[in-house]
Amino acid sequence: MSPGALTMVADGLLELHGEQPRLIGTRCTACGSLYYPQALSCRNPGCREKTIQRAMLPTHGVLISYTVQRYQPPALFRIDDWKPYAIGLVDIGDGLEVMGMLSGFALDAIAIGSRVRLVVEPLYIDAARGPVLTYKFAPETET
Ligand SMILES: [Zn+2]
């Protein structure tokens, strides 16, 4: 997969490093606060310097909370083959928690504290653009 072949659900969410997706965040150059999605400036009230720079985020984290979406979200959110799915809150380190859909978990067997990894999967097929992708968090596979 080349980066040019990807159509993401929104711009600026991630990029591929080889086969590995990386979320694109921003980091304050003064206080080090991390933001995802990308922020325009630092929002730390104790920070006087507001300069931020692009930061590639860690690809693994720990599931710290989740909920199961049991009704189909209204328009603007688009998904093919809708069925209930889980949304997780993942601690990816450096004080940043990222929300995303979960993939590869049985909805009745999701465990807080699970190690997860970032994956990219199709959300829907657009007639003109082809597969439209989003990031998700899947169980980390031990090797
Ligand atoms: Zn700051």
The percentage of the chain sitting over the pLDDT mark of 90, rounded to a whole number, equals 69
Whether the CB-CB separation of 22 and 13 falls below 8 Å is answered with no
pLDDT at 143 over 70: no
Q: What are phi and psi of 10, to 5 degrees?
A: -150, 155
In whole angstroms, give the CA distance from residue 133 to residue 103.
Answer: 13
> 84-93, 105-114, 133-142: lowest mean pLDDT where?
133-142
What pLDDT digit, counting tens, does each position of 21-34 carry? 999 999 999 999 99
Q: What residue numbers bound the domain in which 41 lies?
A: 3-139
**Ligand 1: centre distance to CA 117 (Å):** 27
**Ligand 1: centre distance to CA 41 (Å):** 8
**Ligand 1: centre distance to CA 140 (Å):** 31
Give strand ranges (E) for the chain: 14-17, 20-28, 34-35, 52-56, 60-69, 85-93, 96-102, 115-126, 130-139
What pLDDT digit, counting tens, does each position of 55-98 carry? 999 999 999 999 999 998 888 888 888 899 999 999 999 889 99
Task: Pick the closest to residue 108 from 90, 132, 84 (CA basis).
Answer: 84
Q: How many domains does one find in the chain?
A: 1
